[in-house]
Chain A
Amino acid sequence: MVSVHLGPSWFFGIDATLEAIAALIAFLVAFAAYKVYHVSGERKYGFFTASFSLLTLSFLSRAIADMLLENLLFEVPQALTAQIFLYGYLAHILLALVAYVILIVITHKIEDKRIIALLILAPLLSLLLSASYYISFYGLSALFLVFIAIAYFQNYKKVCSPASCMVFISFLLLALAQIQFLLDLKNSTFYVSAQITQAIGYLILFVALLKIRFKPQSHEKIKNRHRV
């Protein structure tokens, strides 16, 4: 049996909006990565593009599901709410998990196909076998995002640029948001703080993109970055 789980009623619409904004920002990152892939043709940029494209679709499906469940678009028949929650959130979960796995592979430079297969299959299996895919998803996401944040912290230490610092902070906040989503089951206030933390994480990513777009570092600074 599927039980629909939503945040507090006063937050209806705000959560869907924040998720839609996250989808838009993820799309902008994917688009920027695609431009690099188009020029270089290197696979890692293609996979990075794919990862953020999946995140775009993931948040889009969640935003649409929330809008339908919260009756923001039109009145949804009660009989359909469980199905909308199931398929909307399932799409959100599967797309996001695959996106995070791709990011783990890229940020940790994993090349062994067996490890990659393990990273994909283990979470899927744990989702299928768990009593609550909602809890499993946020637990797995938190774990993946912590590892991604660690990788971005090491990248920031190596590169020392404002943009890399913002990317690290962004993913740290995204990891924190997943932990708050887990606590949401005990106290619905955490749903609100989780959504806000997640939104701030994506906003910082957006600011990093703006900084790169409008105030890129000089060529000399970029070249000398590794010469310490």
Chain B
Amino acid sequence: MKRSKIDIVYDMLKAVEEKGGKIIPTHLLYKSNLSHQRMKLYLEELKQKNLLVETHQKEKTFFELTDAGRKFIQDYRKMKEFTQAFGL
């Protein structure tokens, strides 16, 4: 079944959480099951919404989960059930 936007955001944030809250872009690309271009678009939006932050360590780029991102993961089940209950 086609994933909704919330499902994709959840899958991305969950992938970061499972990696201890920090992930490199390549791992995120594999885990999120998105094309490189789509992942870039989603990452921009997640950074804008402060669900992820981009950090740099030893010339490597990481994406870290924020508190807001953790909260989204916790609230995902509620949001998903809400959208399903109301047929959205």
Looking at chain B's contact residues, the main secondary structure is helix
User: Is A39 in contact with B86, judged by CB distance below 8 angstroms?
Assistant: no
Looking at chain A's contact residues, the main secondary structure is helix
Judge whether B38 is part of the interface by a CB distance below 8 angstroms. no
Nearest CB in chain A to that of B6: its residue = A40
Interface size on B, residues (CB 8 A): 22
What string of 1s and 0s marks CB contacts (under 8 Å) between A151-165 and chain B?
A: 110010001010110
Closest CB in chain A relative to B50 CB, distance in Å: 11
What string of 1s and 0s marks CB contacts (under 8 Å) between B25-63 and chain A?
A: 000000000000000000001000100000000000000
Binding site for B on A (CB under 8 A): 32-33, 35-36, 39-42, 44-45, 48, 106-107, 151-152, 155, 159, 161, 163-164, 166-167, 208-209, 212-213, 216-219, 222, 225-226
Can you list 25 A-B pairs with a CB-CB distance of less than 8 A? Answer: A32-B82, A33-B82, A33-B86, A33-B88, A35-B79, A36-B88, A39-B49, A40-B5, A41-B45, A45-B83, A48-B88, A152-B86, A155-B85, A159-B84, A159-B87, A161-B85, A163-B82, A164-B84, A164-B87, A167-B85, A209-B82, A212-B78, A212-B81, A222-B80, A226-B1
